[in-house]
Chains A and B, each alone.
Chain A
Amino acid sequence: MIFDVQVEVLLRPGIADPAGSTIERSLPTLGFDGVRDVRVGKSIRFSLDAADEAAARALAGDMCARFLTNPVIEDAVVSVAAAGGGS
């Protein structure tokens, strides 16, 4: 089966996010007040051929641990959905 995989990579809690804090400091200058906890990450999307959803999740998790993230500073949130799922 083909699955659509989305990996969201974010800095781990407690790791300073200079890009996020710079955006947070800049928004009020445009009048956007009340914004907090800005975090900047990256999104990696791909199609993956796997036996079932559990297998797809396991593969994506392994990719994150070994390549897509640096576990010293980053965490990943993985979403897996059957391809062509409508949305």
Chain B
Amino acid sequence: MSATVGVVVFPGTNCEFDSADAVRLLGAEPRMLWHQNRTVGDVDAVIVPGGFAHGDYLRPGAIARFSPVMEAVAEFAASGGPVVGICNGFQVLTEAGLLPGALQKNAGLKFVCAPAALRVETTSTVLTRDASVGDILNIPVNHFEGNYTCSPETLAELRSDDRIVLRYVDNPNGSVDDIAGICNAQRNVVGLMPHPERATSALLGSTDGLVLLGSLLAAATV
């Protein structure tokens, strides 16, 4: 039986259909989860996709974390379910306290929208289990607030616990330690600024997102 992947939809989310298409391409079944849902149902994995949840009012993710579905996502994550936050979804997961740190405005105030080379730093996460350490993946970024920031203590912990999942080869936004993605201590919640769902076809310029989303589906079905 193929995996079912919940795709969280807030008002202002705009990458839910790209994410759903990618899930379908990989042979799994996407299921939209409206932000007012109080449960994620029987999904096997959850994607919190990109966009501008609740208009990014106050701060990106600040309002979204109060949506009823986020409590259900937190419970799903606490029970070991694989959760991936992409771009705005990463911002939501940090605001919700599921991942440490924060995403600040890009250094130089530049909105970046370009392919980015990413180095896989660990394969011990739900997003990278099928990749290899040192793999260079070409996946687009598209954000204004993707400058990962955290306290020196948090950074030390991320490094020592091997929780930096992806690093930019050429840092586009000022993120500390070139961080493009991190995971939680249990390694089942991953947040990343780049968009793997937009790198799923040669027509889109890259298929390097498939190994990441394929990892998520593999993690979902164990």
| Residue ranges of A at the interface with B (Cβ–Cβ < 8 Å) | 11, 15-16, 18-19, 22, 67-68, 70, 72-73
Contact with A along B14-48 (1 / 0, CB 8 A): 00000000000000000000000000000000000
Q: Which of B39-82 contact A (CB under 8 A)?
A: 58-59, 62
Closest chain B residue, CB of each to CB of A17: B105
A16-B107, A18-B109, A22-B108 known, 8 other contacts, Cβ within 8 Å: A16-B174, A18-B104, A18-B105, A18-B106, A18-B147, A67-B62, A70-B102, A73-B149
Q: Which of B107-128 contact A (CB under 8 A)?
A: 107-109
Give 30 pairs: A residue, B residue, CB < 8 Å, sorted on A: A11-B104, A15-B104, A15-B149, A16-B107, A16-B174, A18-B104, A18-B105, A18-B106, A18-B107, A18-B108, A18-B109, A18-B174, A22-B108, A22-B109, A67-B58, A67-B62, A70-B59, A70-B62, A70-B95, A70-B102, A72-B94, A72-B100, A72-B101, A72-B102, A72-B149, A72-B150, A72-B151, A73-B102, A73-B104, A73-B149
Closest CB pairs A-B (n = 9): A72-B102, A18-B109, A73-B102, A18-B105, A22-B109, A70-B102, A73-B149, A70-B59, A18-B107
The residues of A that contact B106 with a CB separation of less than 8 Å are 18
Give chain A nearest CB distance to B34 CB in angstroms: 23
Please report the total number of B residues contacting A with Cβ < 8 Å: 19
Contact A19 B102 (CB under 8 A): no
Closest chain A residue, CB of each to CB of B105: A18
Q: Once the chains are docked, how many angstroms separate the CA of A22 from the CA of B108?
A: 7
The residues of A that contact B59 with a CB separation of less than 8 Å are 70
Give chain A nearest CB distance to B147 CB in angstroms: 8
| Residue ranges of B at the interface with A (Cβ–Cβ < 8 Å) | 58-59, 62, 94-95, 100-102, 104-109, 147, 149-151, 174
The residues of A that contact B107 with a CB separation of less than 8 Å are 16, 18
Q: Once the chains are docked, how many angstroms separate the CA of A70 from the CA of B108?
A: 21
Closest chain A residue, CB of each to CB of B63: A67
The residues of B that contact A72 with a CB separation of less than 8 Å are 94, 100-102, 149-151
Q: Once the chains are docked, how many angstroms separate the CA of A73 from the CA of B149?
A: 8
